[in-house]
Amino acid sequence: MLKRHARTACTALAAAGLLLAGTGGATADSAPAAPSAATTLRTADAPPELLAAMQRDLGLTPTQAKARLAHEAEAGATAARLRDRLGAAFAGAWVDGADAATLTVATTRAADTAAIRATGAEAKLVTRALADLDSAKAALDRAATTGTPVRYVDPRSNTLVVEEAEPGAAARLLAATGTDAALVTVVRTAEAPRPLYDLRGGDAYYMNGSGRCSVGFPVTKGTVNGFATAGHCGRAGTTTSGFNQVAQGSFQASVFPGNDMAWVAANTQWASTPYVKGSGGANVQVTGSVLQPVGASVCRSGSTTGWHCGTIQQHGTSVTYPEGTISGVTRTTVCAEPGDSGGSYISGSQAQGVTSGGSGNCSSGGTTFFQPLNPILSAYGLTLKVTGSDPGPGPGPGEPEPGGTWKAGTVYAAGATVTHGGASYRCIQGHQAQPGWEPPNVPALWQRL
Peptide bond just before 257 cis, omega within 30 deg: yes
Task: Name the β-bridge partners of 419.
Answer: 424
Is 177:183 a contact under the CB 8 Å cutoff?
no
Kindly list the catalytic residues. Answer: 232, 260, 341
Q: Which of 171, 156, 371, 384 is nearest to 289 (CA)?
A: 384
**CA 90, CA 106: separation in Å to the nearest integer?**
6
Which of 159, 155, 115, 157 minimizes the C-alpha distance to 137? Answer: 159
Rounded Cα distance, 214 and 199, in Å: 10
- Could you give the strand order of the β-sheet that contains 204-207, starting from the edge strand earlier in sequence? 211-214, 204-207, 239-241, 247-255, 261-266, 224-229, 217-221, 383-384
Query: Which residues lie below 8 Å from residue 298, measured CB to CB, with a gap of 6+?
Result: 292, 309, 310, 311, 312, 332, 334, 345, 346, 347, 352
Sign of CA dihedral 266, 268, 269, 271: positive
Q: Where are the alpha helices (DSSP H) in 326-426?
A: 373-380
276 and 346 Cβ atoms separated by less than 8 Å: yes
Return the amino acid letter for 269: Q
How far is C-alpha 363 from the geometric centre of its chain's CA atoms? 25
Cβ–Cβ < 8 Å for 301, 307:
yes
Strand 102-107 to 122-125 pairing? parallel
Quote the CA–CA distance of 103 and 94 in Å, as a whole number.
6
Residue 44 near residue 38, CB atoms below 8 Å: yes
